[in-house]
Amino acid sequence: MVNSMTAFASANGSSGAVSWAWEIRSVNGRGLDVRMRLADGFDGLEADARKQIAAICKRGTLTIALRVRRNTVARFAQLNPEGLQRALDAARTATQAANVETAPLDIAAILALPGVFGTAETEADPLGALNDPVKKDFETALTAFAQARASEGKALAEVLAQQIDRIDRLCAQAGEVLDRRRDHVAETMKQNLARVLGSTDAVDEQRLEQELALLAVKADVSEELDRLQAHVSAARDLLEQEGPVGRKFDFLTQEFNREANTLCSKANFTDLTGIGLDLKAVIDQMREQVQNVE
């Protein structure tokens, strides 16, 4: 079934003071182009991630990003015994040097001294220990990404199927106007022949028959309509195939367009020209959609 090359998915996770977020997005591409931006400390995940991507994607330009954030860590009050001892020793030394009586110590003032009392932070989880949960969340994002491609591909296939049906109906309409066109072309040829015969006394009958036969061949559009019908069948087959079909579909739309151009150039009949222009419009719309097919 058809997969789309455009999709987006994400997954988030956290552990302790560390949180992370995966984002996978893709747009159209001629081949498979994977661009990865991983947070520092998680470069080792890239090789496996590329293998997993290659297993489900054959075409498209993919951007994969991993953002990691250390959340605000917990802080707590902490007394530094060594700093407190140094402050007390300094107070006694100063009192002895000044040869004064020791005054009662101001505990609040002592604790306010640098290095005596402060706050400490809890240690954040080491990043190396988070590889497994971060990798698991990537797999979650990748599964959602594959589902998004399939879902968009299903909608894309429905649009393409409608456009193919429209081309099929236009080809049938073209076949229906061929009898009226044949009469119109015959009448036009008669009038042109009458003008030629009226302007000359000598007519090479054999040459005249050859020219008329050549004009009839040039005006015939049955082969173009047959090829367009064959392309319709091929397009429907592609919609049912498994795996990437975008390149084949793109080539097929070029063939559709070539036959429609020839039909318009050979039409020589207003109704058939109108059908040919409608064909070209639908084919252009289909080609735009095909650019999204993997």
Dihedral sign of CA atoms 109, 111, 115, 117 in order: negative
Residue 62 reports pLDDT greater than 80: yes
91, containing H or E segment:
helix 81-98
SS3 content of the chain, % helix, strand, coil (to 5): 65, 15, 20
pLDDT given at position 219: 63
Delineate the domains of the chain, giving CATH numbers in brackets: 7-72+131-148 (3.30.230), 75-121 (no CATH), 153-290 (no CATH)
Rounded average pLDDT over 176-181: 78
* SS3 per residue for 137-167: HHHHHHHHHHHHHHHHHHHHHHHHHHHHHHH
60-70 and 32-38 beta bridge pairing: parallel
pLDDT confidence band for 34 (50 / 70 / 90): very high
The span from the CA of 265 to the CA of 174, in Å, is 14
75-79 and 117-121 beta bridge pairing: antiparallel
8, containing H or E segment:
strand 7-15
pLDDT given at position 100: 60
The span from the CA of 160 to the CA of 165, in Å, is 9
pLDDT given at position 175: 87
